[in-house]
Amino acid sequence: DTLWDLAIAEVEKRENPGDDGKHVEVCEKSILFMGNKNGGKTTIILRFLEREEIPKPTLALEYTFGRRTRRHNTPKDIVHLWELGGGTSLLELIRIPITSNNLSSFAVVLVLDLSKPNELWTTMEKLLQVTRNHLNKIFARLEKSNPKVVAEIKQKMQNNLQRDHPDYELVDPFPIPLVIIGSKYDIFHEFDSEIRKIISKTLRFVSHYYGASLVFTGKSEALLLKARALINHLAFGYDKSKSVSVDHNKPLFIPAGLDSLSQIGPPPASDIGKMRANTPLELWKKVFEKTFPPKSFCDLQDTRDPAQDSQYAEYEVDVMRAQKNQ
């Protein structure tokens, strides 16, 4: 037999197993990590994959994958991990990982740097807005060709919040599963208590409004494990933790659907009656940006030429490049 014959036989054996073996479907999921520049996305991914590596700055869009075995002698489930670098400067690249083919098994992890509150809302708003617009375009195309898939995805998101939840009609779930991770808790923990309270309440509201899970993480092993548990749930369907921590003096941990507007309370502002807003989200934004005016920052200014970056050095290519430049 040639190698091709063996390969064909192997595929046929997998697709049409005899009585001796039950056919086990390999489960594939995809997750896109995005968020603040230098916010700790790579560290979270490496920790999830249990890799002892020193994180390097992410260039544009990077890909890696993880595998887990459900039981002995069964195929490994796969999770495709995409990481968008450059903060909000490379948003058009999200079209590459999120396609109509993988939409039903896709999730987003938004990593927000708690140590930079003045960039927090702008980063979050831009990233979620562009992702949502892209998802809506895919949904519109799918509605024509495969409306059943669209209905299933939407139903799955609505199931995050029980129908008898008092906020069922007041929230606007993100179209696909979303986890918000507040990183650099170690620095955030040193902030004044009132500042911590405003940031924590705002992120609780945003997460609840979008039907997302929320977790704060930092350098401590216990916090990294909590973030890892939520990613494991997205990647391999592990059971979601039912524990909840809503005290702003401690790291927050709130799985999707386990918070409520009555527990979060109103936006923390004394002059809230004077503020005009069309939606609750807009009101929270105004209150938040009053305390933390958005910094006019441009991620593009920081985008260095990757050809000069030592981590991408390749001798033959660099010699030819130097010759060409000369």
State the pLDDT at residue 140. 86
What's the average model confidence in pLDDT over 145-172? 75
- What CATH number labels 25-325? 3.40.50.300
Per cent of the chain over pLDDT 70 is: 87
pLDDT (mean) for 208-230: 85
Give the pLDDT mean for 316-325.
90
Confidence of residue 239 (pLDDT cuts 50, 70, 90): confident
Report percent pLDDT > 90 for the chain. Answer: 8
pLDDT score of 109: 92
Mean predicted confidence (pLDDT) in 265-274? 74
In the structure, what pLDDT confidence band is assigned to residue 300 with cuts at 50, 70 and 90? very low
pLDDT at 24: 54
pLDDT at 33: 92
Question: pTM of this prediction?
Answer: 0.79
What pLDDT sits at residue 290?
86
The secondary structure of 99-152 as a DSSP string is -TTTGGGEEEEEEEETT-HHHHHHHHHHHHHHHHHHHHHHHHHHHHH-HHHHHH
Chain mean pLDDT for the chain: 81
Q: What is the pLDDT of residue 297?
A: 54
Question: Is pLDDT of 201 > 50?
Answer: yes
pLDDT band at 102 (very low <50, low <70, confident <90, very high): confident
Please tell me the predicted confidence (pLDDT) of residue 180. 92
Distance in angstroms (rounded) separating the CA atoms of residues 203 and 185? 14
CB 192 within 8 A of CB 155: no
Q: Output 251 or 1, whichever has higher pLDDT.
A: 251
Is the CB of residue 175 less than 8 Å from the CB of residue 226?
A: no
- Contact by Cβ (8 Å): 221, 150: no
